[in-house]
Structure 1
Amino acid sequence: MTSESPAERPEPPVAAEKTSRAGRNLPASIAVGLGLVGMVLAALFIQKQVFIGVVAIALGIGLFELSRAFSTARIRIPVAPVLVGGTIMLVGTYLGGMETASVALALTVIGTLVWRLSDGAEGFVRDSSAGVFVLGYLFLMGTFVILMLVEDDGPWRIVAFIVATIASDIGGYIAGVLFGKHPMAPTISPKKSWEGFAGSLFFGIAAGIVTITYALDGDWWVGIILGVAGVVFATLGDLSESLIKRDLGIKDMGDLLPGHGGLMDRLDSLIAVAPIAWLILHALVPVT
């Protein structure tokens, strides 16, 4: 009988990770997604002010994820003034509208520059510019969510906005996995396909029609507009964040959410859709 040396023994099989063709851990992704949706709905319909806190916390986490990601390129975001000023922008929008938010925005820009002065001239433009960028990218976009919230039917406007965006993501994921063959932007996000975009349109339009018609008593054609706009801006938001990550040389913004990555990997579409969703709902759907 011959014995095998340790080097000759076959390695034990490695258990395959439960990941989908699109690279996600699907069970974890679904569980986390349902948990987030449940938390948002609970905050919306318990009390509006609670939802403002949820938005502020989510954007704050996004800020820290971006700060950590930017640090890989030796960019130091002035986190404290951006976080404080951005939160004041959200609360100011709820209490006094965009005029109050605009004042808070201007003062936060100044505060960001002043905060960075103490670290000297080296990298001043780089760091302060990054701080202003993140302030606009996160908190200015977030003010449009609050503008939807302040209406009498605000919670349902938020539901319509979120459902249209999520439907776009789900439709793109399903169609991309099943039929995706033609890359949309291979140098930015290789997994995005035109077939996935078509799936996003189908799901997004269907979700828009249902939520506008039944939740807000609006015209069905407004749902089509919301669905199409949501898909286009969600895709642009996703591609923009993909380009940020590619520029920084990272795969995900974080690892907070199993099956998703960082919270910013889920917020990228929502913050891009928020301004256009507010505009469509404000102009075309009377407050009920």
Structure 2
Amino acid sequence: MSPVDAQRKPSRAGRNLPAAVAVGVGLLVVFGASLFFRPEPFVALVVVAQSAALWELRTAFARRDIHIPLTPLLVGGAGMAVSAYAAGAEALLVAFVLTVGGVVVWRVLDGSGPRALRDAAAGVFAATYLPFLAGFVLLLLDQPDGELRVVLFVLLAVANDVGGYASGVIFGRHPLARSISPKKSWEGLAGSVLLAVAVGVAGALLVLDVSWSWGVALGVLTAVTATAGDLAESLVKRDLELKDMGTLLPGHGGVLDRLDSLVITAPFVYLVLAATV
């Protein structure tokens, strides 16, 4: 094998590792900068991220001739983010219901029939999967010491990803769900649990000032829900015959490839942390 071929050979986990690390560090810098000066830039960052993910999802679904109404989703998604931060869970739910209604009406006005029903249903799925679930991150921000709680949430997700990646590459032998995501292994899941629990315990003791058992619960819950989110998106991508949802983030794929585990995990972390207030 030539040196050029060796450089181009993908890692065992299928990633361009240097690019993935560089982009990951950059995302963390942007995340930290947006969060700790004022909350409004972080709300804007959430809106931008979920809007990019919605665009990727619309493009992917179009491969199966399913056309998601993007305009009401973008407008409604921004409304959900602002409502969640400014007025809480009830306002998030109201904004979600209004968005769903807007998606259905928008698509019906473009034409009725079986195709309209299918497109509207896909739009409702998109509204639920991305802006509604992402709204729980902004509900976290509204809790006491909200900035620190959001940081803990993100660090839990990073720990899950890093622990699963490292353990899977080094020890991975037994596939977790071969037909959905062949590279995921039970050993990788164990690594996700261990590192996420370590971060959770540290966060419980140093950030939340509660018993370490809350940290164990956070770590295990994050590993399970984040893995479920990854597998769910992998199932969608397999059905759409896609490797990644996009190419906006080198080494990671698309924005949705980064948000898949976060949005599924956010409501559960929010509920656990709400119980510690």
* Bin of the TM-score, shorter chain as denominator length: over 0.9
The residue that corresponds to 1:185 in the other structure is 177
TM-score by length of structure 2 reads: 0.96
**Higher helix share goes to which structure?**
2
The residue that corresponds to 1:57 in the other structure is 48
Once the two structures are TM-superposed, the CA of residue 13 in structure 1 deviates from its matched residue by 7.6
For residues 13 and 270 of structure 1, the distance between their equivalents in structure 2, rounded to whole angstroms, comes to: 37
Task: Summarize the alignment of residues 113-132 of structure 1 with structure 2, pairs less than 5 Å apart.
Answer: 113-122=104-113, 123-132=115-124
1:253 equivalent to 2:242? Answer no
SS at match of 2:48: helix
Equivalent residues of 1:18, 1:26 under 8 A apart: no
Aligned residue type for 1:149: L
For residues 167 and 18 of structure 1, the distance between their equivalents in structure 2, rounded to whole angstroms, comes to: 26
Equivalent residues of 1:237, 1:269 under 8 A apart: yes
1:67 equivalent to 2:58? Answer yes
Consecutive unaligned residues in structure 1, runs of 5 or more: 1-11
The residue that corresponds to 2:155 in the other structure is 163
Two-structure CA RMSD over aligned residues (Å): 1.4
Equivalent residues of 1:205, 1:224 under 8 A apart: yes
For residues 4 and 139 of structure 2, the distance between their equivalents in structure 1, rounded to whole angstroms, comes to: 51
SS at match of 1:72: helix
Equivalent residues of 1:160, 1:212 under 8 A apart: no
Once the two structures are TM-superposed, the CA of residue 61 in structure 1 deviates from its matched residue by 0.5
Once the two structures are TM-superposed, the CA of residue 119 in structure 1 deviates from its matched residue by 2.5
Percent identity, aligned pairs only, is 50
The residue that corresponds to 2:209 in the other structure is 217
For residues 212 and 9 of structure 2, the distance between their equivalents in structure 1, rounded to whole angstroms, comes to: 40
Consecutive unaligned residues in structure 2, runs of 5 or more: none
For residues 262 and 47 of structure 2, the distance between their equivalents in structure 1, rounded to whole angstroms, comes to: 14
1:175 equivalent to 2:167? Answer yes
The residue that corresponds to 1:4 in the other structure is none
Task: Summarize the alignment of residues 266-281 of structure 1 with structure 2, pairs less than 5 Å apart.
Answer: 266-281=258-273
Aligned length: 275
1:240 equivalent to 2:232? Answer yes
Equivalent residues of 1:213, 1:219 under 8 A apart: yes
Once the two structures are TM-superposed, the CA of residue 47 in structure 1 deviates from its matched residue by 0.8
TM-score by length of structure 1 reads: 0.92
Once the two structures are TM-superposed, the CA of residue 18 in structure 1 deviates from its matched residue by 5.4
1:151 equivalent to 2:118? Answer no
Aligned residue type for 1:195: E
1:39 equivalent to 2:34? Answer no
Aligned residue type for 1:140: F
The residue that corresponds to 2:219 in the other structure is 227
For residues 256 and 97 of structure 2, the distance between their equivalents in structure 1, rounded to whole angstroms, comes to: 24
1:195 equivalent to 2:187? Answer yes
Once the two structures are TM-superposed, the CA of residue 201 in structure 1 deviates from its matched residue by 0.8
For residues 216 and 156 of structure 1, the distance between their equivalents in structure 2, rounded to whole angstroms, comes to: 9
Aligned residue type for 1:224: V
Cα–Cα, structure 1 residues 18 and 153, in superposed 2: closer, same or farther, change >3 Å?
farther
Pick the aligned partner of 2:199 from 207, 213, 221: 207
- Which one is further off, 64-73 or 13-22? 13-22
1:100 equivalent to 2:91? Answer yes
The runs of at least 4 consecutive aligned structure 1 residues that moved more than 4 Å come to: none
For residues 118 and 29 of structure 1, the distance between their equivalents in structure 2, rounded to whole angstroms, comes to: 42
For residues 229 and 3 of structure 2, the distance between their equivalents in structure 1, rounded to whole angstroms, comes to: 40
Equivalent residues of 1:92, 1:100 under 8 A apart: yes
Equivalent residues of 2:143, 2:274 under 8 A apart: no
1:23 equivalent to 2:33? Answer no
For residues 118 and 33 of structure 1, the distance between their equivalents in structure 2, rounded to whole angstroms, comes to: 41
For residues 218 and 258 of structure 1, the distance between their equivalents in structure 2, rounded to whole angstroms, comes to: 38
Equivalent residues of 1:78, 1:131 under 8 A apart: yes
Cα–Cα, structure 1 residues 121 and 27, in superposed 2: closer, same or farther, change >3 Å?
same
For residues 3 and 224 of structure 2, the distance between their equivalents in structure 1, rounded to whole angstroms, comes to: 43
